[in-house]
Structure 1
Amino acid sequence: MSQPTFRGLTWDHPRGRDALVAAAEASDLDLTWDVHPLSGFESTPIEEIAARYDLVVLDHPHLGDALAQGCLQPFDDLVGREQVEAWADAAVGPSLASYVMGGRLWAVPLDAATQVAATRADLVHRAPRQWTDVAALSRQAPVALSVAGPHALLTFSSVCVALGEEPGGEDRFVSGDVGRQALELMADLASRAPRHTLDLDPIGLLAEMTEGDTIAHVPLVYGYVTYADITLDRPVRFTDAPTLAPGSRPGSTLGGTGLSLTARCRATPELLDHVRDLMSGPVQQDFIPAHAGQPSARAAWTSSTVNEPVGDFYLGTLDTVEQAWVRPRHPGYVRFQTEAAEVVREAVAGSISIAAALGRIDDRHLAALGRTNPEGAAR
């Protein structure tokens, strides 16, 4: 009997690709990994991707659309509750919990990430800890915001969390007072940010920080461990996301990616063993960091061996990932995220009023939930 073949799809960056490809090549599986841009998940319906691939690396907000289309298999049925609980105990922050819906696990978190602060330590004596410190620094050094693509809404959401409110309510996305404060803060920082940086995604921002001196600090950007490598000429120092006040919650929106098995996948014992191996302690702490990956196991995040070559990237942001906000995962959320991000950009640029922006965000949020905005609701 011939060996079964498997096809996987992941995102086209060393962090999303290298460890998976190397692990597949080292296994006895006939497993091929294809790649596409991270934005491809927003532009291609998940059901089309799942129809072509056996394994798909995705972000947790895609679960709503995927489950509505019956695209994925729960791991509980494949590996058992005891294994799922062991993975949950080992995971950092909500990285595994973000893939649980309806009491079942739909993807395993190979990669953990959240928005954190990024600083060129040679340009900034001390990374700002509170949002007031960020504003003060922006008057003395080039401070950039991550607002390209969906990141405008993600940054807005994180600032709201720091202000004390998690977005995604039943009647509106965020309350008017908190939303106004968040947009005013972002607009103030954007008014002094290097203009070209407003069009850069996280990879673009971090790459520019390592290549020149045009960005000294980004208060919220998804952490990429590859830019913290201490052998770089200009390494980036990653620290916890800003807080409103000393000791308060760092506002951050969870990212990372999970490995899912599609409905078409005929999971063999060998394939499931491969997944278990990817989630195992030795692979999480040794193999994945050695192949440009960002592990999801808390033991890796706290390991001195893992942290030393990357300037304590993990230890420096551990508090933030442990307290990160998990985005909604209902059907239609990904489309809402794209549309609302454009509204946030317009407000930050001053193209529309903050009140109008908050109203449009609420309207799109309620539409994604299949509801309409109550007549006369105060903004």
Structure 2
Amino acid sequence: MSGIQYRGLTWDHPRGYRALEAAAEAIAPAQGLTIAWDRHPLEGFESHPIADLAERYDLIVLDHPHVGEAVAHDCLVPVEEVMGEAMVETLGAAAIGPSLASYRYAGRHWALPLDAASQVMAYAPGRVDTPPTMWAEVIDLAARAPVALSLSGPHSALTFQSVVASLHGAGRPDNAFVDPEIGAEAYAIMAALTGEETRARVGHNPIALLEALASGEDLALVPLVYGYVNYAKQGVAFADAPRGPAGIGSILGGTGIAVSRRCKVTDELCAHLAWLMGEEAQRGFIPAHEGQPALRSAWADPAVDAEWGGFYSATRATLENAALRPRHDGAIAFQTEASARLREGLLNREPAARVLADIEAAFARHHQQGTET
């Protein structure tokens, strides 16, 4: 045994902690490890400064918009240095969609793709017989049934980016956030759906929205919300994100495990991380403990899909086509500001041009021209 105790931080939802804690109890000791996992709320996971967490934790579960900030503060160890180039190459082929690629920045990968997610459609089967596939159909449905957008916290900006991707594809203009014409069209779609239901649930994060659907509240559909497999067993149905002229539009979520500079990397730790990324854990242990795996083989496994109510087959195309968020140093601050401005504009029925101009100004403040996004 190495005798080294590791401290990790993940987020406070069964999808975020149950498999990691169970692996720390059932798997790690046999590998010669002691791992203690702390939890923080979803909002902390989305916005807490990564450098601060890296001073206190050896292992950090994070989302890909943090990588530019992490590189700027030199607080994480590249995955290539921890696990080796060969494993990174193997994971690149095995991970679903851009799950591994999302953590590549400045020529290195900064987290292992533990968990894969993107914004998908969630609905109440008793209220929606056939889920809409196009944005025009979502707007038509909202005239007959309660439909809510996900606008809390960073999610108004994330929803906006997903709509933009369905209209224009995943690319962004050089040194700008969005093409003005495409942005105005996306804003108009969101404005058409910022009705009574959206306003009533404007403070609901994705978990709260899914719990509202699961509990039978007066809500029929959320067109874009981060998919949580856990709710597929609680009466929530899922489908691919709505399409536009460019196809499915969705922004990648999911989580990766990063190794901080304070961590002492040992063979035992590497063995545990390799196990978490391997077929046994990704297709068996993680789904059995309410996790949402990142390997394509797990998403395509009929047994895993059947156990979780068809969640994986219903949303797999969205994962494969998901787009990335900005990841530069300052991306989190920009995401927070842009989301607040979008939410304000939609709720106050402001014209698109004014709101989008403010968002572009925020992007310019938080993004150094010529750097990676």
TM range (shorter): over 0.9
The correspondence of residues 93-104 of structure 1 with structure 2, limited to 5 A, is 93-104=97-108
The number of residue pairs the alignment matches comes to 366
Deviation track 1:136-185 (CA, whole Å, cap 9, x = no partner) reads 10011111100111000000010001111446433421111111111111
Between stretches 79-88 and 169-178, larger displacement belongs to 169-178
**Cα distance, 1:78 vs structure 2:** 2.2
Q: How does 1:209-288 map to 2 (within 5 A)?
A: 209-229=213-233, 232=234, 235-245=235-245, 248-288=246-286
Contact 2:152 2:202 in 1 (8 A): yes
2:339 aligned residue: 341
Residues 63 and 361 of structure 1: CA distance in aligned 2, closer, same or farther (over 3 Å): same
Cα deviation code 1:29-86 (max 9, x no counterpart): 1110000012114553211110000000000000011110001001212222111111
Please say if residues 10 and 16 of structure 1, whose CA atoms lie closer than 8 Å, have aligned partners that are also in contact: yes
Q: Name the counterpart of 1:305.
A: 303
Q: Any idea what SS the aligned residue of 1:321 has? A: helix
CA contact (8 A) 1:167 1:174 kept: no
Matched, 1:65 2:69: yes
* Larger displacement relative to structure 2 (334-343 or 305-314): 305-314
- What's the CA shift string for 1:349-370, capped at 9, x where partnerless? 1353211100000001111113
Aligned-pair CA distance for 1:371: 5.3
Equivalent in the alignment of 2:94: 90
The 2-side partners of 1:310 and 1:41 are apart by 25
Of 146-155 and 21-30, deviating more is 21-30
SS at match of 2:201: helix
Q: How does 1:30-109 map to 2 (within 5 A)?
A: 30-109=34-113
Q: Deviations over 1:186-230 (max 9, x none)?
A: 11111243532222110000000010241111110000000001x
CA contact (8 A) 2:169 2:249 kept: no
SS where residue 56 of structure 1 aligns? strand
- How far off is 1:244 after superposition? 1.4
User: TM-score, normalised to structure 1's length?
Assistant: 0.93
In the alignment, is the contact (CA less than 8 A) between 2:46 and 2:63 conserved in 1? no
Matched, 1:148 2:152: yes
Moved more, 11-20 or 170-179: 170-179
Q: What SS does the aligned partner of 1:205 have?
A: helix
CA contact (8 A) 1:183 1:347 kept: no
Q: Is the 8 A contact 1:160 1:167 kept in 2?
A: no
**Structure 2 stretches lacking a partner, 5+ long:** none
Deviates more, 1:159-168 or 1:104-113: 159-168
TM-score using structure 2 length: 0.95
Structure 1 stretch 346-355 or stretch 184-193: which is displaced more?
346-355
Deviation, 1:111, is: 0.4
The residue number in structure 1 matching 2:17 is 17
The answer to whether 1:327 aligns with 2:325 is yes
Instruction: Give the aligned partner of residue 195 of structure 1.
Output: 199
> 2:225 aligns to what SS in structure 1?
strand
1-structure distance, mates of 2:172, 2:179: 10
- Structure 2 residue aligned with 1:376: none
Cα displacement (A) at 1:237:
1.0
Q: Residue 178 and residue 311 in structure 1: after superposition, are their counterparts in 2 closer, same or farther (change >3 A)?
A: same
Q: Secondary structure at the match of 1:85?
A: helix
CA drift of 1:100 comes to 1.2
Identity %: 47
Cα shift readout 1:260-296 (whole Å, capped 9, x = no counterpart): 0001101110000000000110110010001010000
Contact 1:277/1:283 (8 A) holds in 2: yes
